[in-house]
Amino acid sequence: MARKSPTTKTTDNNQKHEIREGQSIELLKELHILTRDGKLNQDSRRKLKQVYHLYQFIEPLLNEISKERAVNLVDHGAGKSYLGFILYDLFFKTNQNNSHIYGIETRNELVTRSQELANKLNFNNMSFINLSVADSTSSQLLPSNIDIVTALHACNTATDDAIDFALQKQAQYIVLVPCCQAEVATILKHNRNKNVANPTLVAMWNHPIHAREFGSHITNVLRCLRLESHGYSVTATELVGWEHSMKNELIIAKKTSTPNLKAKEQLQKLLEELGLNQLSQRFA
């Protein structure tokens, strides 16, 4: 007699390990992380792994702040709010204080859909606001005190707008996964040999692919220096393995001190060396 295949049982056991205890199965289905019959496919498994991995970095920050007070977290460029919903499901929904998540998104249909889902699941301390990252800084719809700012794959300069927001709100923590940094690469290609202190450096971005990759790298270096200059301790690492995402850099900043003049000097010198002086205001 042929033996029955153990594949289904093994898959179910593995899936149980991937779904956290107490997690809302209804939420995971609504986010299309689980299929209608409660299964994980390969794409959703990869997406869930990324969000879980990011949660491992954010959970200690939430724990630290929640010991003293309710937590206000703003997620910029929220999209379908995968991150916000997973954070709420795993941490915020069990809190008995007034901790709150605000999702900022420019696409009104996604804002409406996310708010409807939060209402459906009784995630009462979630709000979704139809604003650009830049406009959110002065918006009266957000509280003056923000503890944690996240921006997951906020494209191009939206990540810098999220940093602006965090600095003005004096956020305790900033968590960024940058995406699609085109601005610096465009300026490097346009300037070529102009305004570059050391013309030999141009070889580093002479080819379009190198300009793109070098521009992306330098953008994140400048962001880290900017945060350090404002008194943040910065860690730059990878989010998940490269097989899961090419936009993989994770920047975590913690407010620790007064402004760092050495970092500010390094930042200005780097802008001068690379002929990026026109970006001095952006990275101020």
pLDDT band at 229 (very low <50, low <70, confident <90, very high): very high
pTM: 0.88
230, pLDDT greater than 70? yes
pLDDT band at 241 (very low <50, low <70, confident <90, very high): low
Averaged over 17-30, what is the pLDDT? 84
Residue 218: CB partners within 8 Å, gap ≥ 6? 184, 270, 274, 276
Write out pLDDT tens, residues 39-54.
Answer: 887 777 777 887 888 8
Predicted confidence at residue 90, as pLDDT, reads 94
Least confident of 34-38, 131-135, 203-207: 34-38
> Exposed (0-12), middle (13-18) or buried (19+): which is 232, by Cβ within 10 Å?
buried
Measure the CA angle with vertex 171, ends 168 and 173; round to 5°. Answer: 140
- Amino acid letter, residue 253: A
Please state, in angstroms and as integers, the Cα–Cα distance from residue 258 to each residue in 68, 201, 203, 227, 262, following that order.
Answer: 22, 33, 37, 11, 12
Alpha helices in 93-207 (DSSP H): 108-120, 133-136, 158-169, 183-191
263, pLDDT greater than 50? yes
Write out pLDDT tens, residues 52-65.
Answer: 888 999 999 999 99
Write out pLDDT tens, residues 61-102.
Answer: 999 999 999 999 999 999 999 999 999 999 999 887 899 999
Residue with tokens 């915020």: 92
The C-alpha atoms of residue 157 and residue 248 are separated, in whole angstroms, by: 17
- Average pLDDT in the chain: 87
Q: Are 74 and 149 contacting, i.e. CB atoms less than 8 angstroms apart? A: yes
| Segments making up each domain of the chain, as ranges | 23-180
Of 6-10, 136-140, 247-251, highest mean pLDDT? 136-140
Predicted confidence at residue 1, as pLDDT, reads 44
Averaged over 107-117, what is the pLDDT? 97
Predicted confidence at residue 48, as pLDDT, reads 80
Please state, in angstroms and as integers, the Cα–Cα distance from residue 211 to each residue in 101, 182, 217, 221, 245, following that order.
Answer: 37, 9, 10, 15, 20
- Separation of CA 169 from chain center: 17
The C-alpha atoms of residue 176 and residue 219 are separated, in whole angstroms, by: 13
Indicate the CATH number of 23-180 among 3.40.190.150, 1.10.10.520, 3.40.50.300, 3.40.50.150: 3.40.50.150
Predicted confidence at residue 7, as pLDDT, reads 38
Cα dihedral 128→134→140→145 (10° resolution):
90
In three-state secondary structure terms, 177 is strand
Predicted confidence at residue 47, as pLDDT, reads 77
Averaged over 113-120, what is the pLDDT? 97
pLDDT band at 247 (very low <50, low <70, confident <90, very high): low
The residue that leads in pLDDT, 244 or 282, is: 282
